[in-house]
Amino acid sequence: MASTTHIIGNLSSWLHPIQPNNSRRCFFKPCTFPIFKLKATNFAGTVRAFSTAFIDTKPADEIVVEKGVSTNKNVLACPICYEPLTLIGDSSLSIDSTSTSKLQCKTCKKTYIGNKTHVDLRAASGLKEYADPMPPATELFRLPLVSFLYERGWRQNFALGGFPGKEKEFELAKGYLKPVLGGNIIDASCGSGLFSRLFAKSGLFSMVVALDYSENMLQQCYEFVEKEENFPKEKLTLVRADISRLPFVSSSIDAVHAGAAIHCWPSPSSAVAEISRVLRPGGVLVATTFILDGPFTFIPFFGIISQKLTQISGNRFFQSEREFEELCGACGLVGFQCIRNQRFVMFSARKPS
């Protein structure tokens, strides 16, 4: 999802970091050839070194669903005690059955009721007087206007910061997700469901959960799905939840995707720790975001300034790929990889088998 970071990232995308060629932080050679050489077919990216922007792409072999991925659809859990929820009524939960669904926790005795678009699995679900205060960056995306504009111009502007576009980003993500194809996937902080819908339509996953804190973003996702003909609704479920308290059974999820989102999370470390908890052994996290480095590193006291801005807005200003590697490692994830293009970065890590 977008944030004030995007505005800075978009302006900075015109400035390539120019540093001595022997510096390991020199991500771009002094020429203007395109970083991404993508084809319409699937591809496998080979990262040449840690945190490098240079990748080789080649047509991938035919995608084969790996054995050992999860096929169990009973993965939803109580956000209070993390015990599995019992679905009352329909045999399975999907975008079509949400409005008539009831989920019950046998331990907490709490019942979660779905509405027309999604099921609310926050700890505070059902409360009218009490509400958890959220940072401005989180509340921004709960506004109906922002939710409406997200796929109608807002997200397209990410190209100014180096984002290669949804199709190419989807192909890049599939390269990292290849070991868990055929399993289930959470599209965390899904926004209006841009990638949730692509995952569902691809047929590469048995179940897709579009998860976001914004009820208006989920409403937009629902409306987009309703407008598409022959959409596989049985594969998609919309869930409202807190990224720092995921309503899923521990070690039950094959993959988590978070597109342009981690910088908006109130506590990235708590969120990644939760993702690590719900991933099964061998499960994969793939995420994209912006990085402010290059010329920004020469701004006096930039680190202190970014910390203050984070405290005020709730946006996290990442300044290097190493931050993501340390964050993943601290939360028990291994096999860190990443690629760069200007301000854009995609990184991946997995839960140890």
Question: What is the rounded CA–CA span in Å between residue 190 and residue 176?
Answer: 18
C-alpha distances in Å from residue 122, one per residue of 78, 125, 132: 9, 5, 10
**Whether 288 contacts 316, CB under 8 Å:** no
Question: What is the rounded CA–CA span in Å between residue 347 and residue 162?
Answer: 15
Please enumerate in sequence order all residues whose Cβ is within 8 A of that of 292, keeping only pairs 6 or more positions apart, or say none.
Answer: 5, 8, 9, 12, 306, 317, 318, 319, 343
Question: What is the rounded CA–CA span in Å between residue 71 and residue 182?
Answer: 8
Cα–Cα nearest to 161, from 330, 320, 13: 13
Q: What is the pLDDT, as a whole number, of residue 133?
A: 80
H helices of 39-151, in order, are 136-140, 144-149
The four Cα atoms 303, 309, 315, 317 give a dihedral, to 10 degrees, of -20
**What angle in degrees, to the nearest 10, is found between the helix axes of 166-177 and 194-202?**
60
Residue appearing with tokens 């002094």 = 30
Cα–Cα nearest to 230, from 269, 267, 203: 203
C-alpha distances in Å from residue 50, one per residue of 54, 237, 321, 325, 340: 10, 36, 9, 10, 11
C-alpha distances in Å from residue 302, one per residue of 51, 94, 126, 262, 309: 21, 46, 42, 20, 10
Reading the block at residue 151, the tokens are: 């796929």
pTM to 2 decimals? 0.79
**Whether 316 contacts 4, CB under 8 Å:** no
Q: What is the pLDDT, as a whole number, of residue 47?
A: 39
CA Rg, the chain, in Å?
Answer: 20
Reading the block at residue 162, the tokens are: 């180096």
Q: Half-sphere exposure of 123 toward its Cβ, with a 13 Å CA cutoff?
A: 11
H helices of 178-320, in order, are 194-202, 215-227, 268-278, 302-313
Question: What is the rounded CA–CA span in Å between residue 154 and residue 172?
Answer: 21
Question: What residues of the chain score a pLDDT lower than 50?
Answer: 1-62, 67, 71-72
Q: What is the pLDDT, as a whole number, of residue 130?
A: 86
**Whether 283 contacts 276, CB under 8 Å:** no
Q: What is the pLDDT, as a whole number, of residue 138?
A: 87
How many residues does this entry show for the chain? Answer: 353
Q: What is the pLDDT, as a whole number, of residue 46?
A: 36
Cα–Cα nearest to 249, from 103, 132, 76: 76
CATH node for 132-351:
3.40.50.150
Cα–Cα nearest to 161, from 35, 337, 264, 292: 292
Reading the block at residue 131, the tokens are: 């509400």
Reading the block at residue 116, the tokens are: 């027309």
Question: What is the rounded CA–CA span in Å between residue 201 and residue 236?
Answer: 9
